[in-house]
Every structure is written in structure tokens, then in C-alpha cells.
Structure 1
Amino acid sequence: MIRRFLYEKRSDIVKFIHAADLHLESPFKGLKNDETPNTLWESIYNSTFNAFKKLVNDAISEEVDFVLLAGDLFDRDNQTPKTYDFFQSQMEKLNKYGIKVFIIYGNHDYLDLSQQNNYFPDNVYVFGNKVETKTIMVDDKKVAITGFSYSRKWINDKMIDDYPVKSNVDVQIGMLHGGLEQTGDNYAPFNLEDLIQKKYDYWALGHIHKRQQLNENPPIYYSGNIQGRHKNEPGDKGYLMVDTSSSPWNIEFHSTSVIDWNTLNMHVDDTDIESIKNNVFAEISKKNFDKMQLINLNLILNNPMSEGEQDNLIYRIQNELSSEYNQLNAWIYEINVELSDDHKFSEINQNIWDEAEKNVFENDNIDKLTKSLRKYDFIINHVQNNNAHLINQARMRLMSGKDGQDED
């Protein structure tokens, strides 16, 4: 076992990483298609693995005492051999440096641990399906860590009630994969006061993918996930580094995400497709991204454009991007073209449009029109989630004075 310190470690310091929701081998549904370059897709698919590698390397270089992984390490309850072998190798790497790892399973990687042997190296401790406490010594500090792993996908019970009040230890940490009661979900519900009453020194939460602080004293944190997996998980992702050498404790965010999800809104005055395309690339280039961005591009037109012109614009952007994305560190995975809200009808009275919109795009009307197609799930989802898009396209057609057919 290797344990080297680059500095003389003070005996009153406890230093650890809090991470959660690794979702290793996340499928990134909908991103793989004929337009996505193979090298980009491989980078996207491997991003959760590479983000975790960075966390492990940081744990070693920062010489932490232990790592807390607060649930949903894996994207599903049955891991492929590749994913399991990868995780095992990372645990063995930490073991070589004497870094302990404490794991709870969540609603994605739930496991009946009464039926499962632990094949991880000795530095790894997996909490069982009932609340339990593991006590360790970090130099002269007695540290207790309490948690439990999901045995099934949904946990409706208030598992927090089974967590003991802080005992006679120097540092007490709670690990919990769950959601606040008021959200009404089925994941080990709790409220803030439940946690505070336990008198713990730190709560390491998992399940919510957005990094957030729920309380300052004691510190109660969701670390968020280590790699965004879709457009509803935008921005930089990573873990929290906790250092107890100061009062209050020093808690810092460290980035691990390989790829970030981003939204770019552009107002467009031009009507020339080539000019619009060039402006899009100029805007992205100006951002000077230092790592790959997956961009949802919203083009907000101040002048109407026919459906054929929209399709041509989207094709031109994506076609050029296929050879430029590496230099720009950006890939546009979705392009939405809509008309500016400030743009007024020039030939149709706004009041007439508002009345027509209310009557025509009423849910019952849409249901009737799509009745024969609703046996297909993807059509149901598209209709239910794209009502605003349908309205925008109708408005655009009326304003452009065209029927949406391509001209010869």
C-alpha cells in the first residue's frame, strides 16, 4: 500500500471528496445519429467514465483521506462487465494510495445486498440496505459515517428516522440518496429539519443532479452529478472537496465534466441564409470554449422564414459544423427556429390571430387531428411536448405568405 504525503499533514485535518450520481455508462439517448461524427460520439459516450477518472486522480493528488459516493454510481441496476471492471480498477487505484471509499447505492443502481457478495478491494465499504454507521480513525480523529443503500427502485419510507443522533465522535457524516418531502417523489423523503436534528457535521446528499447547498451550519449539500447527461443538466459538473482544517470548513467545487451542455440564443435580423450561418459560427468562435460544448441553438428571427428556408439553414449549419466542431469545441445537437415575440403581424390583425390560436390549438382539437397516429409513442411525445413549436410554425407560415413548399 502506498501513502505518500507531499506536505507534513496536520493531525487535526480530515479531508474528503463528496460526489454522487456518476451514472457510469449513461446511454445519452438521442445524440447518436447520422450527423454525429463517430469520434465525437465516442467522446460523449465515454464522458462519464473520464469524469470519474479525473475525480480519482484528484483524490490521489490532493491526498484525501476518503471518498464518499452518494448513490447512482451506475446508470442501471445491472452493469455491463466493461463498466464493472472499470469501476473495480478505479477502486484498486485508490486502494494503492490508502484512500478509503464509502458507497451507498441509489434508485438507479439499487441492489439487494443480502444476496450480493462484495468483491471490491478492502478500502471500499458498501453500506447495507438498512441504515448503519461505519467508524474509522483518521490520524487522531474519530470519524463516523452513516448511510444505507437502496434495495429497490422506490423508497417511500422516511429512512432518515433510522439515522442515529451524533455519537461520541469527532466528525459525524451522513450519506443519503433522496429528495425533500415537498417534492413529492418516492426517494427516501426527508425535510431539512430532519437532517439538522441529527447534529451531524456534514450531510453528503445524492439524487439531485444540480449542485446546491441546503444549509450552511451544519453544511448540507447536493454535490450534483459529475457529468451532465442531457440539456436539462447544463453547465460545469463535478464534486465537492471538503477540508476541515478551518472553521467553518472549506468546501470547494472541483470540475470533472468532459463535455458541457449549453444553450445559445441568437436574435437574427438577416434574411440571407449564408449570412445567418456565418454569424452563428462567428458567435460560437467568439466564446472560445476550452472544452467540448453540446449546444441547443435557438435562432430567434425578426423576419419570417419559410419552412423550406429553415430546413436549408439547418442543413448548411450542420454540414459545415461536421468539419469545424473540433476547432470550435462545440457541436450543435439541436436547432430551433422561432419568430421573435416582439414581431407584430403586418397583414393579419393580432387580435384575430390570438383568438384563432386559442381555438385551433386547443388540446381536444390536436387530439382529434392526431388520433390515428397516437399509437406511436414518439408521435405522442412530440405532439405533447411541441405545442409551442406547432403554433410558432403556423404563425411563421402566415407571416411569410408561403405555404411551406420549397420553390423550384
Structure 2
Amino acid sequence: MARFLHLADIHLGFDRYDSKERTRDFFYALEDAINQYAIAEQVDFVVIVGDLFEHRNIQPGTLNQAQHCLRELKDAGIPVIAIEGNHDNRPYGVKTNWLRYLADWGLLILLEPGDVASGEPLYSPWKDGFGGYIDLDCGVRVIGSQWYGASAPQAIEQIAEAMQDLPPSPGQTVFLLHHGMEGQIARYQGALRYSDVLPLKQAGVDYLALGHIHKNYEQEGWIFNPGSIEANNIEESNFKRGVYLVEISDRGVQAELKTDFYQRSIVRLRLKTKGQETLEELEQAALTMIQTAIQQKQIVPDDAPIVELRIEGEVGFDRLDFDVRQLQRQLQQMSNALIFLLKYEVDSVAYGSPLSEDASRLQIEQEVFTDLLSGYTQYRKRASELAQGLIDLKDRQLEGRSEGELFELVETILNRENS
């Protein structure tokens, strides 16, 4: 029996939201996961199925984070086997990248299929830092691949054929593939069908270790995707994700998803407007929602969470009058959020009174002004009366009345409103 830890989509160097602390979250998650479920569990090996890094070009601090974690595993005598993902693969025509750098320093085993077009075999045993597969002392063969994109189905057919020509495996076979299966997330083009990966099973793969999709899933007892170790955006906070602690033997596969490691709390809230609220009432409703979430322990300020508040619906005032930035600062201070995202996605209330085809110009003007005024909470109750006042103002301006007389009429209309 062999035991290993299956990681994918670590994304060290994540830099969305322009927060250094959020960038460090991905390092803390990796460090905690390997300490709890690799080193403490004394696994035989660790696999990283693509996207160790967020970018091909990384900052020195990001490289230090990777080296620190990999050295911890090396000091514990646990080999790390990795493949490239779409985020950290080398550009076409380039022979090296940061994964190759880490491999050259002996911190991981980078599995790379051969260049068939150049006359190399697709798979040769890993030796002196290079190769497409490795037979480990624990009796498991691990076979690597690369990022194939849309050509993955054709590549898998070639891989399955090449596997038939390999020497017999010493035991179970684990295959590393950075690609996603269909039906797991929306808006994902190029996902693999089950029939696309079945040739790998027929060629002897006991455990298909996937990456790429940041959501946990498994299929048919041999296909496993742990998901990312941290949420790369707010939407992913709803995904189940983690790392797999796996036991594999002649009796089969036991893969347990582990999620109890460092991950920053993410809270998503939604405030629905009805168009009846004043600007001040809407601001107060947002403040009250955050206060309630804190009281109910949904938001724990000491955890410095990431919070999203989405305001949706209609408002009875000019939507641009709402000072989103000022309210966002207030809510961030109240919640002590590391990142507070205030999504203001509303429409101004639209009114449209039905008019007959033979309506007079006066009737049309009356209804147009009434509809415009009714869109503002503070004018709605007196919309008809104020509409008539605007018509009077328009008529007097067309008659050439003096500015003083026009201002006097405006004052009269406003005084009526305040009386």
C-alpha cells in the first residue's frame, strides 16, 4: 500500500485585488496543507498537478515561498512530483521555466513527455532530472503530461498507445493531467468527456489525478480533482475544494478530501432594493446588514475576512447620487474586512403611464413630467402637482417672461413642497 497527497492549482503569487496579504494566503494554505497531510501523515510522495504558480514570470518572494515549502518536504524525505499547468507552462519555443529551475535544484521531480516530432520517445523513465514517468520505491508508477488545451483528446489517444509499450508497472499507476471534465462548471470550453479519458483507464491507469478546475469532484472511483487550495475569486468561495490524501493498493483507491487547513473566510451578502427607499435609507440598510452579519457570527472581524455585498434591484433616485466608495470604506472598517467588495448593480425606477393614441400634447407633457418625478422617492407623492408646476414654468419661459418671474414661480413650487 502507498499513500500520497494530491495537490493542484496552488497559484503562488496570486495578485488579484492588489493585496499583499491576500497573496500570502496562498502560501499559508500550501504550507499548512503539506504540514498536516504530507509531513504529519508521512506520505510516500506528493503530486502537484499543474499551476504551482499564478504566472509564468514570478517575483522573487513567490519563488522563495515555493522553495520553502518544497524544502520542508525534501527535509522530511518526501519526493514531490509535478507537471506544468496552463498558468506556469513554458511559452512555445522556450526550453525552461521556474518549474524546471526548481527541478534542477532537486526540489521536485518534473515529469515531461518527450518531443516526438524531434525523434524522442513520448515516454522515457525519469533519470538525471528528465523523463516522462517514474517508478517510485513505494511500488507506484507516476506518469506525467503537459498542458494540451483543445488538443487534449488527441493527445490522450497517443499517450494511451505509448503506455502500452512501457515496461510493466511495479504496482499501481497514477497519471497526472491538468485538464477538466465536462459538466463541472459553466462557461468552460474544451472540457473532456468521460470517453476521452477512458483510454487511460484501459491502458492501466488506476488513479487519474486532475487539476485545472478549481472545484472538487470525482468520477467513477478513479478520476479525482481536488480543486484549488484557495479561492481565486469571490465566485469560487461557493466551491468545495481542498487536497486529497490517497491510499492506493491492489484493493483499490481510497481518496479522502481534506479541507481543514488555512483558508481565509469569504462572506457573500445580497441586499435587494424595491425602489421605495431613499438614498439615506439604502445606506442604513447596508450598514444594518453588516451589523447583523457580525452579530450572527457570519462575519468575524478578528478573522479579517473577504466580504462581498451586492446591492441589486431598483432605486427611487438617480443611481449615480449613491456614494459607493464612501459606503464601502465604512463597511470595510465596520467588518475589519481584508477586502470589501461593494457591488452596486441597480436601475433607477422607471415609470411609464399608458397614453392613448389621440392624447393631446398637454396630456403627454403631464404624463412625461409625472413619470420622471415619480422615479424619485422624494417627489413621488406630489408628482402630479409638481408636473403641473413644471408645465407652467415651461409655458412662461416660452412666453418670454423675465428671469425674476420664473424664479418666483420656482420658489412658489418649492415652498408648496416644504409647507
Residue identity in the other structure for 1:18: H
Out of 3, 19, 22, which is 2:7 matched to? 19
AA of the residue aligned to 2:342 = E
**Alpha-carbon displacement from aligned partner over 1:148-198 (angstroms, at most 9, x marks no partner):** 234xx8573533221425944322111011244896539999824233323
Query: Which residue of 2 is the match for residue 333 of structure 1?
Result: 341
Structure 2 vs 1, CA of residues 207 and 251 (structure 1 numbering), >3 Å: closer, same or farther? same
Alignment root-mean-square deviation, CA: 3.8
User: Structure 1 residues 189, 156: closer, same or farther in 2, change over 3 A?
Assistant: farther
8 Å Cα contact 1:239-1:255 kept in structure 2: no
Q: Which residue of the other structure, out of 240, 243, 248, is the alignment partner of 2:247?
A: 243
Q: 2-side partners of 1:266 and 1:280: how far apart?
A: 8
- What is the CA deviation profile of residues 314-363 of structure 1, one whole-angstrom value per residue up to 9, with x for unaligned ones? 3453232342333xx574313224369xx9x765459xxxxxxxxxxxxx
Q: 1:288 to 1:105 in 2, by over 3 A?
A: same
Query: Do the aligned residues in 1 keep the contact of 2:290 with 2:335 (CA within 8 Å)?
Result: no
2:88 is aligned with 1:77: no
Q: Contact (CA 8 Å) 1:268, 1:276: kept in 2 or not?
A: no
Match of residue 55 from structure 1: 33
Show the counterpart of 1:220. Answer: 223
- Given that 1:204 and 1:220 are in contact with CA atoms closer than 8 Å, whether structure 2 keeps it comes out as yes
Query: Quick check: 1:20–1:207 contact (8 Å CA) kept in 2?
Result: yes
Q: TM-score, normalised by structure 1?
A: 0.67
Residues in 1 aligned to 2:200 and 2:283: alpha-carbon distance in whole angstroms: 57
Q: Which moved more, 1:173-182 or 1:67-76?
A: 173-182
Query: How much identity, in percent, do the aligned residues show?
Result: 21
Q: Which amino acid aligns with 1:336?
A: Y
The match for 2:20 among 27, 42, 49 is 42
Identify the match of residue 333 of structure 2 among 318, 323, 327.
323
Matched, 1:136 2:145: no
SS in 2 for 1:233: helix
TM-score computed with the length of structure 2 as normaliser: 0.65
Which secondary structure does the structure 1 equivalent of 2:135 belong to? strand
Task: Evaluate the alpha carbon distance shift between residue 197 and residue 306 of structure 1 in structure 2; reply closer, same or farther with a 3 A threshold.
Answer: same
**Is residue 268–residue 300 contact of structure 1 (8 Å, CA) maintained in 2?**
yes
The farther-off stretch of 200-209 and 225-234 is 225-234
Q: Residue by residue, what CA displacement relative to the aligned partner does 1:226-253 show, whole Å, maximum 9, x if unpaired? A: 1112233224643222134886514223
Whole-Å separation in 2 of the counterparts to 1:42 and 1:190: 43
- Once the two structures are TM-superposed, the CA of residue 134 in structure 1 deviates from its matched residue by 0.7
Aligned position for 1:176: 177
**Is the Cα contact below 8 Å between 1:94 and 1:100 reproduced in 2?**
yes
CA separation in 1, counterparts of 2:372 and 2:270?
18
* 1:210 corresponds to which of 215, 218, 224: 215
The alpha-carbon distance between structure 1 residues 188 and 156, as it changes in their structure 2 partners (threshold 3 A), is farther
CA deviation after TM superposition for structure 1 residue 275, in Å: 3.1
Larger fraction in helix: 2
Q: Deviations over 1:89-127 (max 9, x none)?
A: 211111111111001011211137855765545462111
| Alignment pair present for 1:105 and 2:84 | yes
Task: Describe the SS at the equivalent of 2:286.
Answer: helix
Moved over 6 A (4+): 186-190, 395-398
How far residue 74 of structure 1 moved from its aligned partner, in angstroms, is 1.1
Larger Rg over CA atoms:
2
- SS at 1:48 equivalent: helix
The change in CA–CA distance for 1:107 and 1:302 in structure 2 (over 3 A counts) is: closer
User: Unpaired segments of 5 or more residues in structure 1?
Assistant: 1-11, 33-40, 351-394, 404-408
Instruction: Quote the offset at 1:396 in angstroms.
Output: 11
Structure 1 residues 256 and 289: alpha-carbon distance in aligned structure 2, compared to 1, 3 A threshold: farther
